[in-house]
Amino acid sequence: MANKGQIHVTELVFAILLVVVSLYAFFPENLRLSSSWQIIKPKIEIYDFLSSSDKIKYLPKFLKNVSSEIQKLNLDFIAGKTFVLNNYPRSIQISCNCSNSTINLLSNATLNHLINSEKITFYFCQTHLESLNPCLGSSRILIIENLPGNNYYNFLQNLIENKYSLILYVDPNTNFNNNDIANKIFGINNSSRTSTLQNLTFDNSKIFLINNYNEEIYKNSYNIYKNFFGIVISLPTSLTEFVSNCVNIRAGLIYIYNSSYRHKFLICNSSHAYIDLNRNGNFESNEIFKAGDSLKFLGFKSNVTLVYIDNKTFTIGIKFDFYNNEFSDITNFANVFPIDNNNYRKVLVRSDGVAGLIVNTTRGKHVFFPKLNDFSEDKKALLVATLFWLAQRIENEKFFTNYFTYDYNYTFIPYEIVVN
């Protein structure tokens, strides 16, 4: 028991400790104002830099030698950052609710082509809507060969909730009216509408411009367009042909536009190839080309670039050059239009408004791709461009991820940059 004037020291110390600890509880750190600017500001600045560099095609030079370019640029926000390139998927699995012959057709159409000078492998595996079996467990792309009835609508909606991208690969002469899947998921019907051309253009300072600027095009068809003009289609040889002055005699066919437009080509040697542009069956003296040359096929509006000649694998590579407005060689795609008449949901549009394919990005990414019996080279490029776009997914755990383009012989080729 304490005497008068005495305090128990232990009681005193304990009381003080209790007060101090409770004060820290009253003023916790989270009462302080938090700000996200330190996170957001670098993202805005880096995005500006990457998109601006992309516009004037400086980005490839920057990425080839990041450390020395950073020193020249004198930008504060870039110092110490690492730029990791090429994180896009190199093998893409696609589930296909379709027949074996369709799978074979699609597999052959997507074989050996180059994106950013690398091969992307596409695996198609068969599945059924009744018992969906995604390819190797990782596929989130589903091709549907025949238009399902309305009874499948809820099922497909469920897939969309689970981040599936759907491709409706059916005969364009199918009746899409009154089908919920066609109307609501893919946003298409058969009503014929007059549409204006998209007025895509490429100005002479090599900046990709769009005349009637509309954010819709960036949301919808822009990425497929960018992919399409960057994909290098690989053309194999299988024929033999003798041409004087040529060492190699392996020949193949370039199939452009429709089945009557088959152009023979011959790999002459390691640096030159003959290409029968005027389709008269002969290789004329002005029809010999080297890598980088521009090709003008008879009857085809767009120019094509001969990208490479490989006399070890006996293949050549071609890509489609950017052109204005009309894409002349859409056939068999009549009578299918975006239900909202949004012209920018179309890719590769003919003068009468018919399109190579129609996208819908209202919920997820979905594509109506008209069914073909055979794939010309431009259709192959369109299919690969579409599948590559659908396979791209942004992963949230990365600091900064965006998709830009890489200059490869003055073309657009897609890739991903991750900034850490």
Partner 1 sequence: MKAQISYEFIVTILIFIGFFTYVMSQFLSFKVNSEINLNMENINLELFKISEILTKDTGYPSNWNENIASLKRLGLVLNGSLINILDMNKVNNLTIINPSRNYCYNITKYLDANITISLVIEKIYPTNQLLYNCTDINLRVFNLSIERVAVANDNSLLKIKIYGK
CB of 52 to partner 1, least distance (A): 5
Is residue 32 near partner 1 by the rule CB under 8 A? yes
CB of 209 to partner 1, least distance (A): 6
Single out the segment in contact with partner 1 by CB under 8 A; choices: 36-44, 79-87, 230-238, 323-331.
36-44
CB of 195 to partner 1, least distance (A): 20
Q: Which of 16, 17, 239, 298 binds partner 1 (CB under 8 A)?
A: 16
Q: Which of 48, 161, 284, 352 binds partner 1 (CB under 8 A)?
A: 48
Name the residue nearer to partner 1 (CB basis): 4 or 312. Answer: 4
Name the residue nearer to partner 1 (CB basis): 79 or 136. Answer: 79
Long-range (24+ apart) CB contacts under 8 A made by 114-117 are: 114/231, 114/232, 114/234, 114/307, 114/317, 115/88, 115/227, 115/230, 115/231, 115/232, 115/384, 115/388, 115/413, 115/414, 116/86, 116/230, 116/406, 116/408, 116/413, 116/414, 116/415, 117/232, 117/408, 117/413
Q: Which of 10, 30, 35, 245 binds partner 1 (CB under 8 A)?
A: 35
Name the residue nearer to partner 1 (CB basis): 15 or 247. Answer: 15
Contacts with partner 1, 68-87, as mask; x by CB under 8 A: ----xxxxxx----------
Q: Which of 1, 21, 31, 39 binds partner 1 (CB under 8 A)?
A: 31
Is residue 10 near partner 1 by the rule CB under 8 A? no
Least Cα distance to 264 among 241, 244, 233 occurs for 241
CB of 215 to partner 1, least distance (A): 11
Name the residue nearer to partner 1 (CB basis): 45 or 321. Answer: 45
Is residue 6 near partner 1 by the rule CB under 8 A? yes
Single out the segment in contact with partner 1 by CB under 8 A; choices: 48-56, 275-283, 317-325, 410-418.
48-56
CB of 74 to partner 1, least distance (A): 6
Single out the segment in contact with partner 1 by CB under 8 A; choices: 52-60, 242-250, 294-302, 311-319.
52-60
Q: Which residues inside 82-111 make contact with partner 1, applying CB under 8 A? A: none
Is residue 55 near partner 1 by the rule CB under 8 A? yes
As beta bridge partners, residue 418 has 84, 401
Contacts with partner 1, 155-194, as mask; x by CB under 8 A: ----------------------------------------
């589903």: which residue's tokens? 142
Q: Which of 1, 10, 20, 267 binds partner 1 (CB under 8 A)?
A: 20
Name the residue nearer to partner 1 (CB basis): 152 or 404. Answer: 404
Question: In Å, how far are 41, 223, 389, 413 from 85, measured between CA atoms?
Answer: 22, 18, 17, 13
The first and second tokens of residue 150, run together, are: 């309305």
Single out the segment in contact with partner 1 by CB under 8 A; choices: 28-36, 155-163, 282-290, 393-401.
28-36
Residues that bind partner 1 (CB under 8 A): 4-7, 12, 15-16, 19-20, 23, 26-27, 31-33, 35, 37, 41, 44-45, 48-49, 52-53, 55-56, 58, 72-77, 205, 207, 209-211, 213
